[in-house]
Amino acid sequence: MRHASKLLILATLLATAPVLARSGDRNQPMDISADRTDALLGDDSVSTLEGNVRIRQGSLEVDAARAEVHRAGGDINRIVLTGSPANLRQVSDAGEPMEATANRIVYLLADESMMLTGNVVVSQPRGTLRGETIKYDINSGRLDGGGDGARVSMRILPKNAAAD
């Protein structure tokens, strides 16, 4: 019974995984604005932004209370967003929107992954996933939720309901 439950949860996660992010977004410039910043523009540095943080890169839109932008070797390699909640929106190559909210979002650019923690909600036209800890693989669209002692919950809409 326990094995069947795990398989059902895995199948449901795969069915509700967000669509892939727009592939061209990563090649666009990243524009960041905030009320205040404490920044170093060196190749290996951390810049902290606070108050009404906005990040835009192609179809990617992020709004947060605070952001830390980590650079290594001249490239941005990690962004840590916090808020109540931090919000992230992006459109896939197919034109489908994905929205995620969490108290903390850690975006690892090299891995093309995000770790969302604290009151996480990931929504797309076909459904919603909620939990306390969710890892999102941007390339595959795979979500890995739970395992932190808190439950995950999902709502999956029928295909014809998502088009309405």
Q: What is the pLDDT of residue 60?
A: 87
CATH of the domain at 77: 2.60.450.10
Q: How many domains does the chain have?
A: 1
Q: Count the helix, strand and coil residues of the chain and give each as a percent rounded to the nearest 5.
A: 15, 55, 30
Question: pLDDT by residue (tens digit) across 124-164?
Answer: 888 999 999 999 887 777 888 888 888 999 998 888 865 55
Res. 8: pLDDT tops 70:
no
**Could you list the residue range(s) of the whole structural domain that residue 57 is in?**
2-162
**Dihedral through CA 148, CA 120, CA 16, CA 107, nearest 10?**
-90
State the pLDDT confidence band at 19, using cuts at 50, 70 and 90.
very low
Distance separating alpha carbons of residues 112 and 26, to the nearest angstrom:
10
